[in-house]
Amino acid sequence: MNQYEFEGSNEGDWEEGGDLAWNESDWQVFLRNSDKEVARFMTAYNKVKDQDDRLDAAANLMGWHRDDWSSSDEIEMDENDLPLIRPMEIEEINNMDPYTIHRHPIYITSNALFSYLRASWEQLMRKNKESNSSDLVWGYSVSLADAEKHCIMAANSLDLGDFLLAVCHFKKAHSALNESMRMNRLFKHHNTKKIKIYMKETNVRMHDLREIWIRVMNDCRR
């Protein structure tokens, strides 16, 4: 099966290369850069959201693998390639950003799409003259949070090589998102045009989340 060894994987000689002595300020910068990557995906996605192959097109804009953008194929090498391999200098390793889950494509895409779903719902309900039941509002927020939680847990499982555990988390995420999709259709709004646009845009992103998870689950089962 594909090993999800995209550029920046945590597999390598990190410990042998010495400890990265980052302070709190360094990590704050790292997190801000992580947020920029999420924003960069959102920008890329919005550029191609009307295309049928928008996921692959957005992945291409991000520089990820076109066929399986949560992983890259294993590199095949023969004896002639071995002399070309150059070991990394310790200074190069120390100058690299540490690898964390924040750099995983599943984390980046889910963060971006779930952020959109939350923000668009908040914008829809702001100054809404129609009344929606508290049970509906609470149920939607809980199911959406569950879907995101299990998606992130799945990304972490992929990162650790626990592929079947990732499948289990993706299935839980899929079930929770299905509930979110069901409840999302029940919201009422006084502006029919506004809620129609909201439904269209959120449905696209929810279906794309499911498409990502299905693709990765299929790879995990190979």
Using an 8 Å Cβ cutoff, are 45 and 112 in contact? yes
**Does a structural domain hold residue 148?**
yes
Asked, for residue 201, whether it belongs to a domain, the answer is yes
Residue 115 lies in a domain: yes
Whether 210 is in a domain gets the answer yes
The answer as to whether 8 is a domain residue is no
Tens digit of pLDDT for each residue in 15-67? 444 455 789 999 999 999 999 999 999 999 999 999 999 999 999 999 886 44
Residue 80 lies in a domain: yes
pLDDT digits (tens, 9 = 90+) for 44-54: 999 999 999 99
First to last CA, the chain: 5
29 lies in some domain = yes
What's the whole-number mean pLDDT along residues 167-192?
A: 97
Lowest mean pLDDT among 38-42, 96-100, 190-194: 96-100
Domains in the chain, number: 1
Cα–Cα distance measured from residue 103 to residue 36, given in angstroms and rounded to the nearest whole number = 11
Instruction: Note the pLDDT tens digit of each residue in 117-149.
Output: 999 999 999 999 999 999 999 999 999 999 999
Range of the structural domain that residue 111 is part of: 24-220
In a domain, 61, yes or no: yes
